[in-house]
């Protein structure tokens, strides 16, 4: 029986005890580390939850009035919420600052609140805010600008044009806004026929030399003959997406044959055979494919002012609100429409 036990004086016994102690220490250290790690995560989550949810209205009022954070800090916090798209929290902070904040910053805070309402889509509230600012401070161009945008978005074009007068008196450039708003008013006037709209839009385009995309997009859609008659070939590359989608039966061969870019464009589309190559890579590829492969052009739209990229055409950038700054970016893509048509024909 004693053969199964090691005498405690035996050196092997000490080694075994040593490794057992190391194992016990390692085991408890491992589980203690896991326990502390979980506790740290719980503490961190509890800490972060304070920032995920905004305090209630009463709590927010107390926090602002206690002055533990400066008004500037609260404004920075509201602005960070605004930039992250959390407009509700931003609005709550601005409203409380207006109630208990420094009156010297009242107008600026009002403007930030109106801007946030506008960005969040509460146009009526934004309008009331900007009107209140202008009631006491009529020479506030920023408020006038946003009021103009509110009227534009609500399609109150006469009121928007009225806002241009004080902006003009403040020596702001209103030429683009004036031409754009007049064009929008024409396009949305149900009393005018398509021909009357076309003529008036052309008059604005000729007199201002602006809004080429807006005017010719409408003309090529409702009256291609009039569009070709008044077409400025120097605008061809800027209007490439519009020209690309013009129906084959509406093409004016006389004008196309006189312009190298148009010859390349419609040869690349497969309608004509007036070019053998192109200096534009995408068009050159399509010309050499000779429509053997199902490829076409896809379009994106870049604002030249703020460099914001959109998947759709625009006349006023929704980011920086600049007018007529859209630039068409195009690339090669698969022509799914052609594949679908060929597939349907194969079943006939």
pLDDT by residue (tens digit) across 275-308? 899 999 999 999 988 766 678 899 999 999 999 9
Identify which has the larger pLDDT, 272 or 5: 272
Would you say residue 191 has pLDDT above 50?
Answer: yes
Confidence tier at 1 by pLDDT (50, 70, 90): very low
Share the mean pLDDT of the chain. Answer: 85
- Report the share of the chain in percent with pLDDT over 70: 82
> pTM of the prediction?
0.77
β partners of residue 332: 297
Quick one: pLDDT at residue 19? 78
- The contacts of residue 303 (CB under 8 Å, 6+ apart) are 309, 310, 314, 317, 319, 320, 322, 325, 326, 327
Mean pLDDT throughout 14-34?
Answer: 80
Tokens representing 133 are: 């600012």
User: pLDDT by residue (tens digit) across 220-251?
Assistant: 999 999 999 999 988 999 999 999 999 999 99
- Report the share of the chain in percent with pLDDT over 90: 59
| Range of weakest confidence among 11-15, 84-88, 121-125 | 11-15
Would you say residue 344 has pLDDT above 50?
Answer: no
Quick one: pLDDT at residue 147? 96
Identify which has the larger pLDDT, 50 or 11: 11
What sign for the dihedral angle of Cα 221, 225, 229, 231?
positive
Would you say residue 12 has pLDDT above 80?
Answer: no
Would you say residue 125 has pLDDT above 50?
Answer: yes
Confidence tier at 262 by pLDDT (50, 70, 90): very high
CA distances from 167 to 41, 126, 140, 147, 285 (A): 55, 19, 9, 11, 49
Mean pLDDT throughout 312-332?
Answer: 93
Identify which has the larger pLDDT, 17 or 339: 17
Confidence tier at 16 by pLDDT (50, 70, 90): confident
Domain boundaries, the chain: 294-348
Tokens representing 340 are: 């679908």
Tokens representing 78 are: 């509201």
Q: For residue 153, how many other CB atoms are within 10 A of its CB?
A: 15
**Vertex 276: Cα angle to 270 and 282 (nearest 5):** 65
User: pLDDT by residue (tens digit) across 26-77?
Assistant: 888 887 777 777 766 666 566 555 555 556 666 666 666 666 667 788 888 8
């Amino acid at each position: 029986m004693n053969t199964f036990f090691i005498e405690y004086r035996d050196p092997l016994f000490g080694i075994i005890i040593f490794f057992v102690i190391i194992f016990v220490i390692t085991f408890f250290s491992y589980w203690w580390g896991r326990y502390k790690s979980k506790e740290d995560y719980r503490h961190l989550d509890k800490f972060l939850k304070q920032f995920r949810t905004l305090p209630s209205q009463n709590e927010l009022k107390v926090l602002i009035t206690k002055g533990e954070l400066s008004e500037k800090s609260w404004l920075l916090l509201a602005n960070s919420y605004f930039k992250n798209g959390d407009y509700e929290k931003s609005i709550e902070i601005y409203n409380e600052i207006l109630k208990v904040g420094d009156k010297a910053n009242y107008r600026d805070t009002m403007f930030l609140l109106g801007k946030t309402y506008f960005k969040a889509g509460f146009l009526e509230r934004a309008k009331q805010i900007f009107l209140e600012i202008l009631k006491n401070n009529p020479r506030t161009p920023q408020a006038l600008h946003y009021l103009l945008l509110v009227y534009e978005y609500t399609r109150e074009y006469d009121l928007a044009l009225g806002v241009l007068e004080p902006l003009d008196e403040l020596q702001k450039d209103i030429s683009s806004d004036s031409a754009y708003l007049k064009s929008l008013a024409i396009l949305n006037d149900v009393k005018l026929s398509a021909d009357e709209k076309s003529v008036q839009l052309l008059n604005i385009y000729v007199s201002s030399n602006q809004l080429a995309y807006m005017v010719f997009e409408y003309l090529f859609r409702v009256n291609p003959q009039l569009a070709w008659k008044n077409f400025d070939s120097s605008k061809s590359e800027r209007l490439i997406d519009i020209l690309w989608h013009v129906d084959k039966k509406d093409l004016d061969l006389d004008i196309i044959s006189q312009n190298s870019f148009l010859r390349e464009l419609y040869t690349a589309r497969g309608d004509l055979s007036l070019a053998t190559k192109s200096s534009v890579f995408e068009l050159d590829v399509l010309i050499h494919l000779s429509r053997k492969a199902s490829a076409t052009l896809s379009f994106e739209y870049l604002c030249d002012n703020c460099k914001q990229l959109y998947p759709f055409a625009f006349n006023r950038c929704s980011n920086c609100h600049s007018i007529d700054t859209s630039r068409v970016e195009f690339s090669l893509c698969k022509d799914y429409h052609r594949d679908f048509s060929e597939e349907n024909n194969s079943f006939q």
